[in-house]
Amino acid sequence: MSLDKVTVAKRYSKALFELLDSQDQLDASFEELKQLRKVFQDNPQLGTALTDNSLAPAKREALVKPLLDATTGTVHNLIHMVYDYGRMDAMVEIIDQFQALYDTKNATVYADVTSAVALDDSQLDQLKAGYAKRVGAKQVVLSSKVDADIIGGVIIKSEGTIYDGSIKTKINRVRQALLG
Amino acid sequence: MSIKAEEISALIKQQLANYQDEISVEETGTVTYVGDGIARAHGLENALSGELLEFDNGVYGMVQNLESNDVGIVILGDFTKITEGDTVKRTGRIMEVPVGDALIGRVVNSLGQPVDGKGEIKTDKTRPIERKAPGVMERKSVFEPLQTGMKAIDSLVPIGRGQRELIIGDRKTGKTTVAIDTIINQKDQNMICVYVAIGQKESTVRSSVETLRKYGAMDYTIVVTAGPSEPAPLLYIAPYAGAAMGEEFMFNGKHVLIVYDDLSKQADAYRELSLILRRPPGREAYPGDIFYTHSRLLERAAKLSDDLGGGSMTALPIIETKAGDVSAYIPTNVISITDGQIFLDSDSFYSGVRPAIDAGTSVSRVGGDAQVKAMKKVAGTLRLDLASYHELESFAQFGSDLDEATQAKLNRGARTVEVLKQGLHSPLSVSKQVLILYALTHGFLDKIELDDIAKFESGLFDSFDASHADLLKEIDTTGQLPDTDKMDAAVSEFAQTFQPAEAAAKE
């Protein structure tokens, strides 16, 4: 059975992460990887084209060349290896998984905040501090969204967990308690 | 007494200061695949196997597969409104169904929700559907009889309370009828019955329920139904839900009879969802744990020790065979799990022997200890009689010159087969069963024409009800056979006045 992309990506990213960590090049390479991911995300066909055997090898190499030229060191080698093993279509996942490992190391947490009214910067900072304390993170990156449907309060979504402090949910709970 | 406003406001202030808004924290995952009654979700990293999950639209699911990147979920309800990208929440609970007295007389689905249109079920008790079966020290040997009311079963394959007796046979051989008649006979026997219909046509379930209602059996029966139009997971969990409902009564010291009709369809449903969950298929494409699926279910039938109240749960699983093939995978599995089987034969069914029980292949491994003494006495030689009759029957077709002993054996055998026939939904009490078998084994029927046996039987019962009720009562209360002289006298008294049908017609 062929492995799915996530399983493949986890293996490559773990190796990459451990290598970069031992070379102390995590931060520099991460910036490079982010750029690389942007290239793949901007050109969605790129990944499939590079693993497509019906495309002539020469043409494929021509496509990889600019990527190889633009990068150096370990990231350069990574592209080489991933290309040789025909896993270019999993590149975005590899970098995603790498980011997950990178964030765990730096205790960075990403969260989506939904509120009924737009929050100002000081409120967001308060929220960040409170949330960081709660989950034990050093750094919190918030992306906020406004949804009037929740009436009031805040909902924070992060890494498979929902912290729901919205008025809407509370009303629903009261309703359930009364009717149930 | 004066109200001190200051004190009160101080108290309120203190409470307000401590008032903390509770926020709900939920672990969620994202649906990445949905179809055929199952879903896969990313996230949910702490989910437990068997845990209930809630989808966005309020439908519940159960965790079945925990894999490295995602979890496989069976959806217990309508899956058409779940889409890719939906969130799915952990509930932290495992699958439970409502249990208790309020369920008696009701028809419910596998989740314990009523489907008979008689309003909600008022009970606050629930039990998890999966439970480890009682262990060695919690059990006791089976010793009390469970009367099915069928002569052929109570005499040849007696069932004890707490036993697991398989009913097996081809389609249309009366498997369900045996089970339904057994339920009907539990009236006033201090029994609670659970009838689990798995993959049965809704119309069949409807008519079974009507039959039970007509004979007053719904007063002590719970019907759990998972129809063929329900998603496979509901068919799969139905017997476990029924077992949970039965266990509640068993652990309260009551006696329970549970019928699983039928486990071959449950196995098919489990095969379906296992294949969609991409578990490797084994023999006949059933998953590797299909044996465990049935063994852990049937192991929950038990006779509890006195410390635990002495309750019992008797299980009557039903298995449908294809063209009499008992060596297929599921039949052999369940035969080896149960304490015996009642084999229904389609040939005898179509030749008019109903219930079509095959005495040769039907056995009960533990029921003998539970049989009433009187029954044991009169039925002792029955199995041998039948076996030698069937052997001689085929042999005797070749020649007409038979010695007297063989003739007598054939004669007795034909009458035995005739006596063991019984009408639909007409269970008999033990005493009457003993009575007719007594008449048979003591030779009172040897001179009666085969066609007259049924008439003789009903006449004999009427005569005993009218003038020898004390003898019947003695069997019922003591379980012993009354004095043979008295019995002989009473039976021959009736035999002398008996008018065969032909003679009656001539007059």
Model confidence over B453-498: pLDDT tens digits? 999 999 999 999 999 899 899 998 998 988 889 899 999 999 988 8
Claim to verify: residue A36 and residue A78 sit in the same structural domain: yes
B20 touches chain A (CB under 8 A): no
Percent of chain B with pLDDT over 90: 69
Q: Which two tokens stand for residue A129?
A: 């501090």
Q: How many domains does chain A have?
A: 2
Claim to verify: residue A53 and residue A112 sit in the same structural domain: no
Distances (CA, A) of A171 to A146, A149, A176: 19, 12, 9
* Cβ-nearest to B23 among A7, A160, A164: A164
Indicate the residue type of B50. Answer: G
* Cβ-nearest to B28 among A162, A165, A173: A162
Rounded Cα distance between B181 and B257, Å, is 12
What pLDDT, on the 0 to 100 scale, is given for residue A1? 43
Distances (CA, A) of B216 to A93, B184, B290, B427: 65, 8, 37, 13
The active-site residue out of B278, B365, B383, B415 is: B365
- Locate the chain B residue with the closest alpha carbon to A159: B43
Q: Which two tokens stand for residue A126?
A: 């308060």
Q: Quick: pLDDT tens for A10-50.
A: 999 999 999 999 998 888 889 889 988 998 888 888 888 88
Counting as low any pLDDT under 70, the low residues of chain A are: 1-2, 180
For chain B, first and last CA: distance in Å?
103
Chain mean pLDDT for chain B: 91
Burial class (CB in 10 A: 0-12, 13-18, 19+), A42: exposed
CB contact under 8 A, A160 and B43: yes
Domains in chain B, CATH or no CATH each: 24-93 (2.40.30.20), 98-371 (3.40.50.300), 377-497 (1.20.150.20)
Given a contact cutoff of 8 angstroms between Cβ atoms, the answer to whether B320 and B344 are in contact is no
Q: Quick: pLDDT tens for B265-281.
A: 999 999 999 999 989 99
Quickly count: other Cβ atoms within 10 Å of residue B140's Cβ: 17
Q: Which two tokens stand for residue B42?
A: 């990313």
Phi-psi label, residue B49: left if phi above 0, alpha if psi -120 to 50, beta otherwise:
beta
B496 touches chain A (CB under 8 A): no
What pLDDT, on the 0 to 100 scale, is given for residue B367? 83
The residue assigned the tokens 């068919």 is B235
Which of A2, A3, A6 to substitute to test the interface with B, most B CBs within 10 Å?
A6
- Locate the chain A residue with the closest alpha carbon to B31: A160
Domain boundary among A104, A123, A152: A104
Claim to verify: residue A76 and residue A125 sit in the same structural domain: no
A169 touches chain B (CB under 8 A): yes
Which of B20, B25, B88 to substitute to test the interface with A, most A CBs within 10 Å?
B25
Claim to verify: residue A45 and residue A95 sit in the same structural domain: yes
* Cβ-nearest to B26 among A6, A161, A173: A161
Claim to verify: residue A20 and residue A90 sit in the same structural domain: yes
Kindly report the pTM of this predicted structure. Answer: 0.85
What pLDDT, on the 0 to 100 scale, is given for residue A137? 85
Percent of chain B with pLDDT over 70: 97
Q: Quick: pLDDT tens for B403-416.
A: 888 888 888 999 99
Strand stretches in chain A, DSSP E: 108-115, 139-146, 154-158, 161-164
B204 touches chain A (CB under 8 A): no
What pLDDT, on the 0 to 100 scale, is given for residue B126? 93
A108 touches chain B (CB under 8 A): no
Q: How far from the centroid of its chain's Cα atoms is residue B26's Cα?
A: 40
On whether ipTM exceeds 0.85, the answer is no
Q: Are strands A139-146 and B70-76 parallel, antiparallel or unpaired?
A: unpaired
Say which CATH number the domain at A88 has.
1.10.520.20
| Residue B296 annotated as catalytic | no
Closest of B353, B334, B339, B492 to residue B423, by C-alpha = B353
Claim to verify: residue A65 and residue A137 sit in the same structural domain: no
What pLDDT, on the 0 to 100 scale, is given for residue B504? 63
What pLDDT, on the 0 to 100 scale, is given for residue B506? 59
Claim to verify: residue A80 and residue A53 sit in the same structural domain: yes
Mean pLDDT value across residues B383-387: 88
List beta partners, residue B76: B60
Angle at B176 between CA B173 and CA B182, to 5 degrees: 120
Domain that holds residue A78: 5-104
Q: How far is A159 from chain B (nearest CA, A)?
A: 8
